[in-house]
Structures are given as structure tokens and as C-alpha cells.
């Protein structure tokens, strides 16, 4: 059987890192198997779904490099859900129910008070035609429930191992609302059948849904896919993730925090696995390393600080040709491979290249911590041309004349030349600053 997977977000909010992890795992599994990846927008919630959220989802996935082979919107497929509904009605698996939300809530409270599970009691199955006609004459519209078979439901989960439910312990799910709109349980199964989805990879919060949906797949006459239910991510404090957590949204990580897509993918692919978390420069590397066998059932925590450190390590390993176009788009067209190699060991985000470009090519206000030392240094500054041998030669002369060494020597020179406490090696930075700027800054002049 060929592998076909889907990522099916609802365009009711922005993607967060938990959503991205599921998309990534689906994509890696499909690519490793030479299969296909479907992006499906579950947009039947017309009150909350928006075109802006849908566009943002596509932008975020494209930024991660998760290209999709097929695309679908549930709002374009309503006729397929109607056809499935009619089939289930004909087969006696879908039945109308007339209880109001208040009545159902009272039933649940009564069951819980009696220490019984809150399972629908199937009272609607006992209604005759006359009783249904009376309820409808009162203005009640039915919602429609799927009648589960009271038999075991089992599958071998690729993450959780053997899974077992008994149909008698599950409540008949509502598949169609009073207004005729299908709910997720129905529309998702119909889509998976129509697109020949071979594996459903999603969060462990859907495990109970899977037991119900397996019977629905069977009732609609289609093959049951394989399943993998991943533990949900939490934030660094152990709290669940939500679309409302803008700080962990993909757009915020990209635009506000300067996170590289491969840094995020490197972290999400390894969180909760037996593999060490290391920066990877391509999705092909992550694809080759992927395996469900490595995923633990324990909850994994997403720590933005860990992501920041990984982002820096990734940039330190990135070649100039991989970022040249992006640097030009940021307005740093003058940056070449030599400049990149000098500054990249000190970057935590790509935009910081601009800081070092300005330090070497624009005016900087120096910090003079030791005026006597910087004056002596200016007097000993050698003529150009300069290369990476200029710095050690110059420093040795200053050391001989002043008797200063170690941090007491290097730190005042760095502050005077760059105005910064830390940065790239000065032996590499000095030739980029140039003699005229260096002399002025050593004298305490903005240059």
C-alpha cells in the first residue's frame, strides 16, 4: 500500500509549534516512504474560519519547506458528506435525536452523580414516528448520531502500541448538527477515504475519536488506515499549547524572533525522541533520520530558549550561498562570503548581520575604558594593507610598550573599536573596520 498522509488544520487561528510538529512528522513519514502529503483545510466552521487564517497556514508551511502534493478544502466537499450521511441513514447507522443541549447536560449530570460514565442512553432510538412528528411540530430539529456496534475496537498504534476500546464504553457520536452541517468525526473520515489516506498521524487527544472513527470507516465501506498518536507538546512551564499563544506561533517565531525554519524543524523533529537535538541543514537529513520507533510516549516540553540556542548553532554552520539571497533582500547586498564567515560565529539571528555591517562600514560611538592604552594603541597602529596577521602583530607591540596583557588589554580595544562587549574575533574584524575608522575610534571619535 502506498503511503498517503494528511495535515488537516482548521483555519480558525494561527499555527503554533504543536501544529507544526504534527505537520512535520506527517511530511517526514511520507517523504521517507516516497508517499504523498495532503494539506486539507477543515473549514466547515464558517463562523470562525477565515481566509486570512487559511493564507497564514499556507505561508507557515511553505516557510518550513513542507510542500504539499495535494490540497483540499472541506467547504468544497459538502456534497460528499451529504452522500455519506444518506448512506448511513439507509443502513440504519445514523439516527435522529431531539434532546436539547440543556436536556443532554442534565442527563450527563445525573449519570455522573450515579457514578456512571456519561454515555448517551440511546433514548432517541425508542421514539416512534408519531413522537418524532410531534417533536418536529414543536420546532425541534434533529441532530444525528452514529450508532456504534458494541464490540471491541483494536489497532496497533505506531507510537502507543496495541490500543483497545469497547464500543459499549463509548457514546454514540453526533455526526450531523441540527442545521445539517457535518461535524469533524464524519467529514474527516469521508475525506480520508476519498483521498486514500493510508496513515492518520495526529495528537493523542484524538485516541478516543479513533475508536469511533474506525467503526465509521468500516460502515462507509472503506479500508481502515494505520494510526500514530503523538504525545502533545507543552510549553516550558508544562502548560498546553493553544492557537491563542501568539508567542509560540510560527509567524511570531519567524517575524519577531528571527528563527530559521530548519532550526525549528530540527527541534520539533527530535523533541520527545531518543535522538540528540542537533541542528540539521536540510529536511532531507531529518527525513533520513526519522522513525516512529524513536518517539517516546512521554510528554515533551517546547522551550523557546532551547530553540534560540539551536538557531544560533544552525547559523554558525550555514554557508554563505544558503543565505546570500536573503541577505540581499534584507538590504545587505554588500555582504560577501568573507564578511559572512567573519560574523556568523557570533550570530543568533540572521538580521544581526546588519549590526556588524554597520560596525565595520558606518559610524560607531566608541567606548573608551582606558584612554592611556587606546592612545598608545593608536600610535602603534600599523599602516595598511591589513590581513588576519595584523592584529596579533599590533597587540604584541602594545603589550610590549604598555605592559598590559590579557583581558585588561583586549577588552578596552574591543570597546573602542566596536562599542561592543563581545563579538567576532578582532583579528578578522580589524581589516573590515579599516585604519581610518580604527584611528578615529581609538581617539574617542565617532567614526
Tell me: domain 363-442, CATH 1.10.10.350, correct? yes
pLDDT (tens digit per residue) in 91-129: 999 999 999 999 999 999 999 999 899 999 999 999 999
Q: Tell me the sheet residues that pair with 6.
A: 38
Q: What is the largest CA-CA distance in the chain?
A: 108
DSSP one-letter string for 237-300: TSPBP-TT-GGGBHHHHHHTT---HHHHHHHHHHTTBSS-----S-HHHHHHH--GGGB-SS-E
Confidence (pLDDT) at 241? 72
Query: CA-CA distance, 71 to 9, in Å (whole number)?
Result: 12
Confidence (pLDDT) at 234? 87
Query: CA-CA distance, 202 to 207, in Å (whole number)?
Result: 9
The H or E element spanning position 234 is strand 233-234
CATH topology of domain 4-79+181-234: Rossmann fold (3.40.50)
What average pLDDT does range 346-350 have in this prediction? 97
Q: How confident is the model at residue 240 (pLDDT cuts 50, 70, 90)?
A: confident
Query: CA-CA distance, 438 to 418, in Å (whole number)?
Result: 9
Judge whether 158 and 204 are in contact, CB under 8 Å. no
Residue 244 has pLDDT above 70, yes or no: no
Q: How confident is the model at residue 150 (pLDDT cuts 50, 70, 90)?
A: very high
pLDDT (tens digit per residue) in 128-140: 999 999 999 999 9
The residues spanned by each domain of the chain are 4-79+181-234, 321-360, 363-442
Query: CA-CA distance, 85 to 95, in Å (whole number)?
Result: 10
Query: CA-CA distance, 196 to 209, in Å (whole number)?
Result: 19
Buried b (16+ CB within 10 A) or exposed e, 56-87: bbeebbebbebebeeebebeebeebbeebbee
Confidence (pLDDT) at 235? 82
Cis, peptide link before residue 385, omega less than 30° from 0: yes
Query: Does the CA dihedral 119-120-123-126 come out positive or negative?
Result: negative
Amino acid at each position: 500500500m502506498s503511503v498517503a498522509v494528511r495535515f488537516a488544520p482548521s483555519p480558525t487561528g494561527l499555527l503554533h509549534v504543536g501544529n507544526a510538529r504534527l505537520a512535520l512528522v506527517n511530511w517526514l513519514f511520507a517523504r521517507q516512504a516516497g508517499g504523498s502529503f495532503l494539506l486539507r483545510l477543515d473549514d466547515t466552521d464558517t463562523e470562525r474560519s477565515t481566509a486570512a487564517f487559511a493564507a497564514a497556514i499556507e505561508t507557515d508551511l511553505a516557510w518550513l519547506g513542507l510542500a504539499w502534493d495535494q490540497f483540499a478544502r472541506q467547504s468544497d466537499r459538502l456534497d460528499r458528506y451529504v452522500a455519506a450521511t444518506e448512506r448511513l441513514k439507509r443502513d440504519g447507522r445514523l439516527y435522529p435525536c431531539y434532546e436539547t443541549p440543556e436536556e443532554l447536560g442534565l442527563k450527563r449530570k445525573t449519570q455522573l452523580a450515579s457514578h456512571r460514565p456519561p454515555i448517551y442512553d440511546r433514548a432517541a432510538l425508542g421514539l416512534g414516528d408519531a413522537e418524532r412528528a410531534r417533536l418536529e411540530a414543536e420546532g425541534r430539529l434533529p441532530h444525528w448520531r452514529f450508532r456504534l456496534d458494541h464490540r471491541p475496537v483494536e489497532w496497533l498504534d505506531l507510537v502507543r502500541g496495541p490500543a483497545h476500546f469497547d464500543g459499549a464504553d463509548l457514546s454514540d457520536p453526533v455526526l450531523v448538527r441540527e442545521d445539517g452541517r457535518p461535524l469533524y468525526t464524519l467529514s474527516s473520515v469521508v475525506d480520508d477515504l476519498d483521498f486514500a489516506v493510508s496513515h492518520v498521524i495526529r495528537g493523542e487527544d484524538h485516541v478516543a475519536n479513533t475508536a469511533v472513527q474506525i467503526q465509521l470507516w468500516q460502515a462507509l465501506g472503506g479500508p481502515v488506515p494505520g494510526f500514530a498518536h503523538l504525545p502533545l507538546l507543552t510549553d516550558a512551564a508544562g502548560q498546553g499549547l493553544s492557537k491563542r499563544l501568539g508567542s509560540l506561533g510560527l509567524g511570531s517565531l519567524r517575524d519577531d524572533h528571527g528563527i530559521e525554519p530548519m532550526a525549528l524543524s530540527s527541534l520539533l523533529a527530535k523533541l520527545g525522541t531518543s535522538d540528540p537535538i542537533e541542528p540539521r541543514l536540510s529536511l532531507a537529513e531529518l527525513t533520513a533520520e526519522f522513525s516512529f520507533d524513536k518517539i517516546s510516549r512521554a510528554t515533551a516540553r517546547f522551550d523557546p530558549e532551547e530553540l534560540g540556542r539551536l538557531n544560533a548553532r544552525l547559523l554558525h554552520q550555514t554557508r554563505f550561498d544558503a543565505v546570500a539571497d536573503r541577505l540581499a533582500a534584507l538590504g545587505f547586498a554588500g555582504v560577501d562570503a568573507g564578511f559572512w564567515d567573519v560574523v556568523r560565529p557570533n550570530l543568533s539571528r540572521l538580521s544581526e548581520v546588519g549590526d556588524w555591517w554597520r560596525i565595520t562600514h558606518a559610524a560607531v560611538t566608541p567606548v573608551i575604558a582606558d584612554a592611556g592604552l587606546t592612545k598608545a594603541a593608536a600610535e602603534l597602529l600599523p599602516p595598511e594593507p591589513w590581513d588576519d596577521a595584523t592584529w596579533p602583530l599590533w597587540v604584541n607591540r602594545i603589550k610590549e610598550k604598555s605592559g598590559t596583557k590579557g583581558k585588561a588589554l583586549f577588552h578596552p580595544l574591543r570597546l573602542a573599536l566596536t562599542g561592543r562587549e563581545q563579538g567576532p574575533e578582532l583579528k578578522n574584524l580589524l581589516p573590515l573596520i579599516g585604519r581610518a575608522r580604527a584611528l578615529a575610534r581609538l581617539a574617542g571619535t565617532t567614526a
